[in-house]
Amino acid sequence: MRTRIIASALLATGLLIASAGVQAAAIRDTAAFTDNTLLANDDGSTGLVPIGFSINYFGSSYSNLYVNNNGNVTFTGPLSTFTPFNLLSTATPIIAPFFADVDTRGAGSGLVQYGQEANLGGHAAFGVNWVGVGYFSAQTNKLNSFQLIITDRSDTGAGNFDFEFNYDQIQWETGGASGGVNGLGGSSARAGWSNGVSTALELAGSAIDGALLDGGPNALISGSLNSSVDGRYIFQVRNGAVVGVPEPGTVALIALALLGIGFARRRIS
């Protein structure tokens, strides 16, 4: 497979819709996604947890995944890395609604929660909530609320699924060990996915300071993909490949943002 990086300036294609209107609540309110809780931590992960159905993600079948505190899920091993990197610089398949240094130890931070839903719009689903979470080191003066939902679409073919990123509030973009000051600047958050080998997509504004924040030029709460709800980005995976996103020749490449930001030094909490 030829190597490609889709750095998704989707505004140019009409797939990503910016809205100046009032932000609708994108996070789906389902109690099933709060059945399990990752205790307050910095850079922690769950063990393997069941999705509830099998998915075909770029030719590999998975029925379990790891929920990582730092705004992502992985399939072949947990990920403790806190400074977001070019999503092709890891050999680990990843889905990352907001890859940044989440720290839930601060008083007033929410905790990462996850679980299964038997009937979400007529389909089984698995969801992870990062609602009201703080940033390193145990800071809660700014809080983020976002969600990942993986939905079984085996009704369209074995292993087919959708996944969606939902955003209600993005106030911080960087932890203090990633060059951020007061949650801002430095090596800022990335949002997207990768098969860990040859194909990745990052939402426009990833790794650009201030871009993804509420009120920023690529504010996550104000855009949408394959959805009429502000803050909701839906991706369809059919026969192992993500469909419905533009090919590299139809989008603007943000090459500087995708030059690998190296793994940050390990810190002592």
Give the pLDDT score at 264. 33
Reduced to 3 states, what is the DSSP secondary structure of residue 249?
Answer: helix
- pLDDT band at 141; cut points 50, 70, 90: very high
Say yes or no to pLDDT of 178 above 80. Answer: yes
Do 171 and 65 form a contact (C-beta atoms < 8 A)?
Answer: no
- pLDDT band at 246; cut points 50, 70, 90: low
- pLDDT band at 198; cut points 50, 70, 90: confident
Do 53 and 158 form a contact (C-beta atoms < 8 A)?
Answer: no
CA gap 50, 36 in Å, rounded = 12
Work out the percent of the chain whose per-residue pLDDT is above 70. Answer: 82
Point out which residues pair with 147 in neighbouring strands: 129, 166
Residue 263: what residue type? F
- Torsions phi, psi for 91 (to 5 deg): -85, 5
- pLDDT band at 44; cut points 50, 70, 90: very high
- Residue of 151 and 21 predicted with greater confidence: 151
Cβ-count burial of 243 within 10 angstroms (0-12 exposed, 13-18 middle, 19+ buried)? exposed
CA gap 49, 64 in Å, rounded = 5
Question: How many helices (H) and strands (E) would you count in the chain?
Answer: 1, 14
Say yes or no to pLDDT of 103 above 80. Answer: yes
Arithmetic mean of pLDDT over the chain: 85
CA gap 159, 236 in Å, rounded = 12
Residues 6+ apart with CB under 8 A from 224: 16, 17, 19, 230, 231, 232, 233
Say yes or no to pLDDT of 255 above 50. Answer: no
Do 127 and 147 form a contact (C-beta atoms < 8 A)?
Answer: yes
- Residue 266's CB: how many other CB atoms inside 10 A? 10
